[in-house]
Amino acid sequence: MDAVFSGLASGFATALDPFNLMLVLVGCFAGTLIGALPGIGPINGVAILLPIAYGLGFKPESAIILLAGIYYGAEYGGRISSILLNVPGDAGAVMTTLDGNPMARKGEAGKALSLSAVASFVGGTFAVILMTLFGPLLAAYAVTFSPSDYVALMVFAFASLASLVGSNPVKTLLGAVIGLMLASIGIDANTGVARYTFGIPDILAGIDFLVVVIGLFGMAELIHLVEQQARGTLKTLEIDKSFVTMADLARTKWTILRSSCIGFFIGILPGTGASVASAVAYGTEKRVQNNPKSFGEGDIRGLAAPEAANNAAAGGAMVPMLTLGIPGSGTTAILLGALLLFNVTPGPLMFQQRPEIAWGLIASMYIGNIALLVINLPLVGLFARLLTIPQQYLTPLIAVLAFIGVYSIVSNPHDLYMITLLGLFGWIMRKLGFSLAPVILGFVLGSLFENNLRRALSISAGDWTILLQSWNSIVLYVLTAIVVIVPIWYGRRVAARNARSEDESPKAPA
């Protein structure tokens, strides 16, 4: 432990150097802006700014600190367009739209933005603290998570997400299956066989997650706005001056803590990232709450959960990268590449060979988290004002932002048609009472489930008992059972009590 503290102290000495401190701030600010663009998340933010950081000829630790600031900033920024425009800023911010946007529409944009900033801060800081204290230990555990354990994790995720069932369970199931089907397009990850590609090169590697998200959420929202405008039911919102209160924080403190744990745990596993983390956190939170009815209508707990989780996951993903040299996500793969570019080899020896970089980076994460909170809270009012832009200008802007986001990442007009068509499809589904969240979740979790199941079976040469052979799996299956059974049992008890006191109609758990 002493080594940790002395290392951290030297790290802070590096990170608090005025020049580096300025870089953290600049990185966080630029990252927030880039992340706020729909579609452009941490991966692309870091990739785009990497050559600039390199070209400026900074010392390695300074450049890496700048990039980490951008990484964190983009993760923060993703929530802004989710909340204000109902267009997810990046993959990890999909769940944020579910309760964040209804809050903004109720006139609580300021509260939503500030609360999510605090939740992000807690999630991010929680992850960095755990990483500092137990980094190598956690990484050693994370790699023991085998394909069969991922299968169990996905079963758990599906079970906790069953709480998302809307008014029509069949439509919810159908929505999820549509998401799963969309995910099955492209080259099969095990046998290399192309599925449902019909010789179109653009979908040979599958449909990009981003395209699905921007299409189904962003463009569908756009069509929805125009429809409302044509009916004359759309009003430009007043400037709202709401802000997070101590009471809100008190109400969400356990939510934030639970979600930070879930997010961090899923984040450290190589192969799952912020999108899975926020989905599981949201589903679990809805499951464990006694009164989940307001979820999806602007519940602050439904906003705090995914935000705490996706930032905790972003921090968690750094653990295997720094301690083992294994990138757990696309973004950490780029940070790994950046380190290599500066002749720093991440991995077990980095803490001995280049302590100034390893610890400087960790210290800069503490500072970055604080900086983001400090930058973001005063900006809440400014961002919230976005909504007061008259509708005839705001609507075209959403389209332009979505096009910028997609084009700058894929450099290919094909995906612009894709988002438009998916947008139309999403809008029709919305009109018909389908919820879009199950589609997205089916899309994210489906291929993880299928690929890991088949991986597990190729390891065991077809023996299905491999699925139950590790403690990780067994614990997850037990948790799954709890997540399924407890709300039913609890619902029965509430129903019984209500019947006794002849209260209003019993609420059946979803």
- The region of 103-111, 358-366, 397-405, 484-492 touching another protein under the rule CB under 8 A is 397-405
- Does residue 123 contact residue 263 with C-beta atoms inside 8 Å? yes
Answer for which of 392, 465, 501, 505 binds another protein (CB under 8 A) is 392
Does residue 467 touch another protein according to CB under 8 A? no
Does residue 370 touch another protein according to CB under 8 A? no
Closer residue to another protein, CB minimum distance, 22 or 349:
349
- Report which secondary-structure segment, H or E, holds 195: strand 194-195
DSSP assignment of 88-111, as one string? -SSGGGHHHHHHHHHHIIIIIHHH
CB of 468 to another protein, least distance (A): 15
Contact mark string toward another protein, 207..226, x via CB under 8 A? -x----------x--xx--x
Distance CA 368, CA 241 (A): 26
Distance CA 286, CA 420 (A): 32
By CB under 8 A, the residues from 49 to 88 that bind another protein are 49, 51-52, 54-55
Does residue 47 touch another protein according to CB under 8 A? yes
Answer for which of 142, 261, 279, 422 binds another protein (CB under 8 A) is 142
| Nearest Cα to Cα of residue 358 among 390, 326, 395, 321 | 321
Does residue 193 touch another protein according to CB under 8 A? yes
CA-based max dimension of the chain:
74
By CB under 8 A, the residues from 326 to 365 that bind another protein are 326-328, 330-331, 333-334, 336-337, 340-341, 343, 345-350
Helix, strand or coil, per DSSP, at residue 48: helix
Does residue 39 touch another protein according to CB under 8 A? no
Closer residue to another protein, CB minimum distance, 411 or 505:
411
**Please, which residues bridge with residue 187 across strands?**
194
Q: Which residues contact 409 (CB under 8 A, 6 or more apart)?
A: 39, 40, 44, 210
Closer residue to another protein, CB minimum distance, 119 or 216:
216
Structural Rg of the chain based on CA atoms:
22
Answer for which of 44, 259, 278, 284 binds another protein (CB under 8 A) is 44
- Does residue 311 contact residue 76 with C-beta atoms inside 8 Å? yes
By CB under 8 A, the residues from 407 to 436 that bind another protein are 407-417, 420, 423-424, 427-429, 431-433
Does residue 298 touch another protein according to CB under 8 A? no
Closer residue to another protein, CB minimum distance, 16 or 410:
410
Say which amino acid occupies 418.
Answer: M
Closer residue to another protein, CB minimum distance, 112 or 154:
154
Does residue 33 touch another protein according to CB under 8 A? yes
Does residue 471 touch another protein according to CB under 8 A? no
Distance CA 284, CA 476 (A): 13
CB of 327 to another protein, least distance (A): 5
- The region of 118-126, 252-260, 376-384, 400-408 touching another protein under the rule CB under 8 A is 400-408
Sign of the alpha-carbon dihedral angle for 103, 105, 111, 114? positive
Collect contacts of 140-147 with beta carbons under 8 A, ≥24 apart.
Answer: 141/268, 142/268, 142/269, 142/270, 142/319, 142/320, 142/328, 143/270, 143/320, 143/324, 143/326, 144/470, 144/472, 145/269, 145/472, 146/456, 146/459, 146/470, 146/472, 147/452, 147/453, 147/455, 147/456, 147/459
By CB under 8 A, the residues from 151 to 190 that bind another protein are 168, 170-171, 173-174, 177-178, 180-181, 184, 187-190
CB of 173 to another protein, least distance (A): 6
CB of 255 to another protein, least distance (A): 30
